[in-house]
Structure 1
Amino acid sequence: MVNAVQAGTIIAVAAGVIGWFMILRRQSFAGHTLAVVAFPGASGAIWLGLPAAAGYFGFCTAAALFITATPRSHGGAGFSQESAVIGTVQAFALACGFLFVSLYKGFLDGITSLLFGSFLGISDSQVLTLLIAAVAALAVLAVIGRPLFFASIDPAVSAARGVPVRALSVIFLLLLGIAAAEVSQITGALLVFALLVMPAAAAQQLTTRPALSLSLTVVIALAITWLGLGVAYFSVYPVGFFITTFGFAAYALAVAARQAAGRLARRTRPAAIAGSARAW
């Protein structure tokens, strides 16, 4: 359980930061596909007698490189082509995953864990691997963070200013692949969005200030991870279900808070205008 909390903390921080940029760049579909690729990666590694972590990271980074071969566009045929390639990779990855599971002749009772996550059996070496991968990914993101933010907000203007938009897109997809591989080891391949999307989506509902939004994303990711692990410890159900449930609750509360703040602002605005008119 100590190893699970350590691994979950590492994953929550990395997934929160990278997921925030993923939402900003509108690449949720790509993130979901890279998460799905983690399933054939892990099952294929087990079939070959390799550590599951090697399959997670190997397949996710390979899929990210394949997706980057498609020119990214924000409209028209380029956007449709990218979506088609990502969807094709996702379908092929799921098929390969179930093929690898069927080819494995040993006793494999962990298919549920591969798909929906587990916190049992996390070793010290796995925690160290996750820490090294997370530190490396966040260090790269810290270096490219400012130009990546500029390119995410306005790609055309940033390209005109000399920002290497294409290179940044490739690097970020590789970082997203690493994040998906990490998160899959806790939430499972099908529930990676719980940490990649929900904390960032909830934080961006609460504030539009980039620094504050990013900080809130990490806080929310840590909260739902720790709560999910704590509840799963006393339950027989997969940890991915609880992390996803708490993530959805956080997003729903953030949306409700934003709507309530909007209604309050609309009610107080006429009164403030009337008071200003009387004072004038």
Structure 2
Amino acid sequence: MQSFLVLLEIHAVPELWGQIFNFTDYGALLALVRNSLVAGAVLGLVGGLVSTFVMMRDLPFAVHGVSELSFAGASAALFFGANIITGSLVGSILAACVIGALGARAKDRNSIIGVIMPFGLGLGVLFLSLYQGRSANKFGLLTGQIVAVDTPQLGWLIITGVVVTAALMFIWRPLLFASTDPEVAEARGVPVGLLSAVFMLLLGLTVAISVQIIGALLVLSVICTPAAAAMLVTASPKTVPVLSMAFGFLSVVGGTLLSLGSRVPISPYVTTISFLIYLVCRVIGRWRTKHGWSKRGAQVETAVAA
């Protein structure tokens, strides 16, 4: 019996490895996912940029809540035969507006998200269970699809990414001030409440385009992890968004390239790369702290600011 199990493992491991990594006809497959690569690049850059303020404003839990409503909207659109992108956008924006309007304080916000998340997930599962079409469409909403991005979807994704990026650039300085010290910012006349609502709307748009690529369940790896990793190696408000965008780009595009020809969805590759980047940054951050680099970096930043 033991010998049989050993033989089974010997044959199972190569087969499993072949399902995870299979680069046969890689060049031909690469041409088929051109749209997905462009979409992944846009998502990685935009997600990394938004991730900076998500971490500064302590909103990872909100991202998950918005993604559940985005999933519910996309599932409803799939069931009724409507445009999935539109359904995802409606769900995301609705969730972002509710959380932004009712959750001014962190405690209230987390309570609202705790109510929204199971409702959105349950609603999405309901529509998926009633949907009689291809199972790949249902599975893709949860874990992402590498070949799901056609030309019209890519156009919408790029437009949404440009809108989010342009809006963030326009409100960057007051939003940064309101995110780091909201009480002082409000005392100096910065419209903290309005900026919070606008950012939640931009977050909803970013989550909606993320669901199309990586799925609703693992959006956090694109909109939270990049900035979390960047903040481990630097405290500079200029360097963090740049590193975050680079990490997001590497995660999504790298995950797309690795998933070519594999039976495994794109999301495990994206999340694994994102997690590995975080681990490396954590090691670097500890080394910097141990050798006093963090303190020196803070002194340099203070001198530059002065």
Q: Distance in 2 between matches of 1:108 and 1:58?
A: 23
2:103, 2:110 within 8 Å by CA — same for their partners in 1? no
1:37, 1:189 within 8 Å by CA — same for their partners in 2? no
2:60, 2:224 within 8 Å by CA — same for their partners in 1? yes
Structure 1 unpaired stretches of 5+:
74-78, 270-280
Q: Distance in 2 between matches of 1:259 and 1:34?
A: 33
Q: Distance in 1 between matches of 2:46 and 2:134?
A: 33
Give 2:195's match in structure 1, choosing from 168, 172, 178.
168
User: How far did 1:81 drift?
Assistant: 2.1
Q: How many residues align?
A: 262
Give 1:149's match in structure 2, choosing from 173, 176, 183.
176
Q: Which runs of structure 2 are paired with 1:1-280 in the superposition (5 Å)?
A: 1-73=33-105, 79-265=106-292
**Residue-by-residue CA offset, 1:197-250 (whole Å, 9 max, x unaligned):** 111111111100011111011111111112101110032101011000000000
User: How far did 1:149 drift?
Assistant: 0.4
Q: Secondary structure at the match of 1:109?
A: helix
Runs of 4+ in 1 over 4 A off after TM superposition: none
Q: Distance in 2 between matches of 1:109 and 1:216?
A: 34
1:28–1:229 CA distance, 2 compared to 1 (3 A): same
In structure 2, what residue type is equivalent to 1:242? Y
In structure 2, what residue type is equivalent to 1:135? V
Partner residue, 1:272: none
Partner residue, 2:26: none
1:113, 1:188 within 8 Å by CA — same for their partners in 2? yes
Q: Distance in 2 between matches of 1:228 and 1:182?
A: 17
In structure 2, what residue type is equivalent to 1:48? F
In structure 2, what residue type is equivalent to 1:34? V
User: How far did 1:71 drift?
Assistant: 4.2
1:238–1:159 CA distance, 2 compared to 1 (3 A): same
1:101–1:31 CA distance, 2 compared to 1 (3 A): same
1:37, 1:90 within 8 Å by CA — same for their partners in 2? yes
Bigger CA drift: 172-181 or 64-73? 64-73
Q: Distance in 2 between matches of 1:127 and 1:107?
A: 22
Q: Secondary structure at the match of 2:171?
A: helix
Q: Distance in 2 between matches of 1:255 and 1:107?
A: 41
Partner residue, 1:276: none
1:180–1:157 CA distance, 2 compared to 1 (3 A): same
Structure 2 unpaired stretches of 5+:
1-32, 297-306
Q: Distance in 2 between matches of 1:65 and 1:254?
A: 34
1:42, 1:54 within 8 Å by CA — same for their partners in 2? yes
Q: Distance in 2 between matches of 1:250 and 1:107?
A: 35
In structure 1, what residue type is equivalent to 2:111? A
Q: Distance in 2 between matches of 1:123 and 1:114?
A: 15
TM-score (norm 1): 0.90
User: How far did 1:122 drift?
Assistant: 1.3
**Residue-by-residue CA offset, 1:73-100 (whole Å, 9 max, x unaligned):** 2xxxxx3222111110111000100111
1:203, 1:217 within 8 Å by CA — same for their partners in 2? yes
**Residue-by-residue CA offset, 1:169-211 (whole Å, 9 max, x unaligned):** 0000000000101111111000001110111111111100011
- Identity, in percent, stands at 33
Q: Secondary structure at the match of 1:191?
A: coil
Q: Distance in 1 between matches of 2:143 and 2:234?
A: 31
In structure 2, what residue type is equivalent to 1:129? W
User: How far did 1:31 drift?
Assistant: 1.0
